[in-house]
Amino acid sequence: MGPAIDHQPESGLAANAKRRTATIRDVISVDVEDYFHAEAFAKVVARSDWDQRVARVELNTKRILELFSRLKVRGTFFVLGWVAERYPGLVKEIAAAGHELACHSYWHRLICTLQPEEFREDTKRAKDLVEQSSGQAIYGYRAPTFGVRVDTLWALEILVELGFTYDSSIFPIHHDRYGIPHSPRQPFRVVTASGPIVEYPMTTFRLWSEHNLPVGGGGYLRLLPWWYTQLGLDRARKERIPVIAYIHPWEIDPSQPRLNPGVKTRIRHYTNLGKTFDRLATLLHSGEFTSFNESGLAAMAKDYDISAWRQNGSR
């Protein structure tokens, strides 16, 4: 007797879908930039003065690499082109440890301040530098300060033209600098005139309203109490929202030089620097974290029409 033949192909597809869902894991990402690269300091530290600043990005990134190694975690490192150009050995070390390399622009400028051709040149320069330093092709991009907003959606088409297959720059929240609050909360695919690109929105959760609350990364991990982070992670997972966490190397560095950008920025930037490393370790213990390219999240992405966003023309 020959092998049994499945005459119901949809059952096989369902099984495959279950297997894909089972392999979906949380993502940990690192935006590799120094303390003086933060947009909050753009008016305090001129880019022409960056080379004169005391750099700490190499030391802090290596601390994160050591933590990831100890916990057997691989992540995605969105490297600033400026950093890759000056610390190619650091980029090589990230790649040698088995992590995914990705692009975080060259000059850390907000997309909304750039013309399309300026954005293209900046992004290509950074991509080339990270690829040359790491020896691996890169496919992911994250804008400085999550700068893909309704008024900068044109950047997605340029990313496709430059060979990127995914972006992680949209935050579905209200914020004074970024965000598209009505965007999907799960991975989605945008079809541009140049081809498709998958968008991995940052993690949000909901409590008693339809307002999205941010969780699991950067200032939200550093500034807010751990009970908030744990609540948000639990809620997001219950809602089947992928956890996409992120950290900046300067956020684990309480010894970094202090700048004077104003009270609001001082509070945002310097609060709880001494607690963030331990919180990052606790976060990584809370789930099974990996890089974007190993996460399986692309299987969740469905085509999403963003034309209505463009028509509205508002954030």
Per-residue model confidence as pLDDT tens digits over 71-120: 999 999 999 999 999 999 999 999 999 999 999 999 999 999 999 999 99
Residue 98 belongs to a domain with what CATH number? 3.20.20.370
CB 290 within 8 A of CB 29: no
pLDDT number for residue 261: 79
Distance separating alpha carbons of residues 292 and 2, to the nearest angstrom: 42
Distance separating alpha carbons of residues 119 and 215, to the nearest angstrom: 29
Q: Is residue 16 part of a domain?
A: no
Average model confidence (pLDDT) across the chain: 90
pLDDT number for residue 276: 97
Does the pTM of the predicted model rise above 0.85?
yes
The parent domain of residue 302 ranges over: 23-312
Total domains in the chain come to 1
Distance separating alpha carbons of residues 127 and 57, to the nearest angstrom: 19
Q: Is residue 17 part of a domain?
A: no
Q: Is residue 2 part of a domain?
A: no
pLDDT band (50, 70, 90) for residue 8: very low
Q: Is residue 4 part of a domain?
A: no
